[in-house]
Chain A
Amino acid sequence: MSNLETIADRSPAAEDDTVWTEHSSWIDRVPRAIQMLFVFVVFVLLWDTVTRFGFVSPIILPTPLETFNDLIFVGKNLVTGGYMLPALWITLKEVFYGFLLAIAIGFTLGVIVGETAFGERAIMPYLVAIDTMPKVAFAPLFVAWLGFDIDSKVALAAFIATFPIIVGTAAGLHAADTNSRNLFKTMGATRWQTLVKMKLPMALPQVFTGLKIGSVGVMAGAITGEFLGGGKGFGELIRTAASQLNTPRVFSLILYLSVIGLGLFAFVSWVQRRFVFWHKERVSAGGE
């Protein structure tokens, strides 16, 4: 003890000459919105440079201004109830029904596969096998079975979105730890009680991960279905615009679709925050 004290006494370090602070980059102190805006501006400037000075043909890549003008045009058309609004409505319906169907089937199959030994042993291998298939290739089959109307697009959208929901649900059901299982056993809980009161709530974070991935897939499914199976949706508008080499239109339609996709994703995230309030997710809106 006295040794330590003498050492401390001898050391000349006064309080104010040992002060040092952790250095953080100045970029970390800039608000996130500004950082994102910066990336956007750089991107648009690059894009503008490439198109303005003729590095790329305007047929292949429109200028940012052309695209922006077309965005306004399409926006006006949608808001004033022009011919694009019914197309948007059709695509929205496909996405909506497709997602509902995917949730119903995906959740049911996920519970069967995640909860029963039979499901895991006998059904899961087939699901994995189907999941590895290029699902888009099924589009002609859906058209043959369900026709050129929205049913075939709903089917393809649901088909693509179902698998992440199955996997999320099944994996989530395995998340319950030994202690929780033993606790439910010692309380004399039935299998149903264990499932409903413990395993399913515990599975919710992973179920929602599946739903988020599914919400992205359902968009892709609906548009692919329209590309390959005709109809009168937004995908058809894109196809028509592309065939007319109207690239600004293609770009603006894609941007509007991405707004819908983001909206769906945001909606799922919002529902998750409400129902899985107890699970602290470390990644914010950006997803997994």
Chain B
Amino acid sequence: MQAAAAMTDQATPVREPVYQLRNVGKTYARNAITALEGVSMTLTKGSFSSVIGSSGCGKSTLLKIMSGLIPPSTGRVVLQGRPVTGPRRDIGMMFQQAVLFPWRTTLENIVLPIEIRDGKAAAKAAEVQARELLELVGLKGFENTYPSELSGGMAQRASICRMLITQPAVLLLDEPFSALDELTRDFMNMELQRICTSRGATAFLVTHSIQEAVILSDVVYVMKPRPGRVAEVVPIDLPRPRTLDMMTTPKFGALVEHIRSALDKEAFK
């Protein structure tokens, strides 16, 4: 079914919207601080979007709203036709750290979301899917390994599995590889692309790295602080699948330059 969806996506340029934000704003301290103002975006099915901006531009606030951790002050947040009013099973989340629990094996960590939502029996049943996911991310054979024996990259692969186990409609990625070294990070980004493509996943990435945003995304949202807002939407029309070699092409360089100057304008104002 996912494969079919991916094929129609390629055939028709208009894609089905999955996650829609309309004029979303967030104020703190009794409206004294505006963290986010008038953010509108539409994530279409199977697309990869990134948001980039300096610290304090409201991107983490945006991510918290999108994951249902905090409510917005204004605006509409709609996932798959239903307003987001709290954490939901169709929202997958990945953090800067892998957040694996050391007393659980890799497999037990991955089925944790099922265990929380549906109980132990369902978690046991989900181990079949968990094993498939482990194979997808290249961690086959590590089912019964404890996280302390996994490297940073392997731990993040496991946390990808945990995110995917509930078959979420949208993947929210909060600087998922920023704690890894640069070589591992580039490699993991390519892995992420492969995994997202194979699952037809709709992904939303928050990052500090312009290169990372450009190489992975179909759309990059450039955010600016005070108040946090989307300043520019940059479509990335590099062909897919993306490769690390593309990072040396003039087109890639031009896109990175464009985004950098968009960010700099604010930083030195």
| Contact between A193 and B99, CB atoms less than 8 A apart | no
Majority secondary structure of chain A interface residues (helix, strand, loop or mixed): helix
Q: Are B117 and A201 in contact (CB under 8 A)?
A: no
Q: Contacting B87 at CB < 8 Å: which of A188, A201, A278?
A: A188
Enumerate B105-121 residues with CB–CB distance to A below 8 Å. Answer: 112-113, 115-117
Once bound together, how far apart are the Cα atoms of A276 and B93, in whole Å? 28
Contacts of B87 in A (CB 8 A): 185-188
Q: In the complex, are the beta carbons of A188 and B116 less than 8 A apart?
A: yes
B155 to chain A, nearest CB (A): 12
Residues of A within 8 A of B97 (CB): 179
Q: What residues of chain B lie closer than 8 Å to A202, measured between beta carbons? A: 101
The answer to whether A278 and B102 touch (CB under 8 A), given A186-B93, A187-B87, A188-B88, is yes
Inter-chain residue pair count (beta carbon < 8 A): 50
Chain A residues whose CB sits within 8 angstroms of the CB of B67 once the complex forms: 182, 186
B117:A183 contact, CB within 8 angstroms: no
CA distance in complex: A197, B115 (Å): 10
Convert A170-184 into 0s and 1s, putting 1 for each residue whose CB lies closer than 8 angstroms to a CB of B.
000000000110111
Determine whether the beta carbon of A183 is less than 8 Å from that of B95. yes
Give the size range of A's interface with the partner.
20 to 34
Q: Which B residues are in CB contact (< 8 Å) with A278?
A: 102-103, 146, 148
Inter-chain contact B95/A279, CB cutoff 8 Å: no
Decide yes or no: A180 and B103 within 8 Å by CB, A187-B116, A188-B116 being known contacts: no
- Among B68, B87, B115, residue most surrounded by chain A Cβ atoms (within 10 Å): B87
Which residues on A sit within 8 Å (CB–CB) of B102?
278-279
Q: What A residues does B103 contact at CB under 8 A?
A: 201, 276-278
Q: How far is the CA of A103 from the CA of B102 in the complex (A)?
A: 25
A185 touches B69 (CB 8 A): yes
A184 shortest CB reach to chain B, Å: 7
Distance between Cα atoms of A182 and B99 in the complex (Å): 10
Render A139-174 as a binary contact track against B, CB cut-off 8 A, 1 for contact. Answer: 000000000000000000000000000000000000
B117–A188 contact, CB under 8 A?
A: yes
A184 vs B117: C-alpha distance when bound (angstroms) = 11
User: Does any Cβ of A come within 8 Å of B76's Cβ?
Assistant: no
Binary CB contact string for chain B from 82 to 103 against chain A (1 if under 8 A, 0 otherwise): 0000111101010111010111
* Cα distance A183–B93 in the bound complex, in angstroms: 8
Nearest A residue (CB) for B96: A179
Query: How far does the alpha carbon of A198 sit from the alpha carbon of B102 in the complex, in Å?
Result: 10
1/0 per position for B137-179, CB-CB distance to A under 8 A?
0000000001010000000000000000000000000000000
Residues of B within 8 Å of A185, CB to CB, are 69, 87
Give Cα A183–Cα B94 distance, bound, in whole angstroms.
8
Q: Is the CB of A187 within 8 A of B101?
A: no
- A128 within 8 A of partner (CB): no
Which of chain A's residues 267-288 have a Cβ closer than 8 Å to chain B?
276-280
Does A189 sit at the interface, judged by CB under 8 A? yes
Query: When the two chains form their complex, are residues A201 and B89 in contact, meaning their CB atoms are under 8 A apart?
Result: no
User: How far, in angstroms, from A179 to B113 measured CA to CA in the complex?
Assistant: 15
Q: How far is the CA of A242 from the CA of B101 in the complex (A)?
A: 54
Contact with B along A244-288 (1 / 0, CB 8 A): 000000000000000000000000000000001111100000000
Q: Are A182 and B69 in contact (CB under 8 A)?
A: yes
Nearest CB of chain A from residue B93's CB, rounded to whole Å: 5
Task: Take A180-B99, A201-B103 as given contacts and tell me if A193 and B116 are in contact as well, using a CB distance cutoff of 8 Å.
Answer: yes
| Bound form: Cα–Cα A86–B170 in Å | 69
Q: Name the A residues within 8 Å of B91 (CB-CB).
A: 186
Q: Which of A192-221 contact B (CB under 8 A)?
A: 193, 197-198, 201-202
* Contact assessment for B95 and A182 in the assembled complex, using a CB-CB cutoff below 8 Å: yes
**What is the interface of chain A, defined by CB distance below 8 A to chain B?**
179-180, 182-189, 193, 197-198, 201-202, 276-280
11 contacts between A and B (CB under 8 A): A179-B95, A179-B97, A182-B67, A187-B87, A187-B117, A188-B88, A188-B116, A197-B116, A201-B101, A278-B103, A278-B146
6 other A-B residue contacts (CB within 8 Å) besides A187-B117, A201-B103: A183-B93, A183-B95, A186-B87, A186-B91, A187-B112, A280-B148
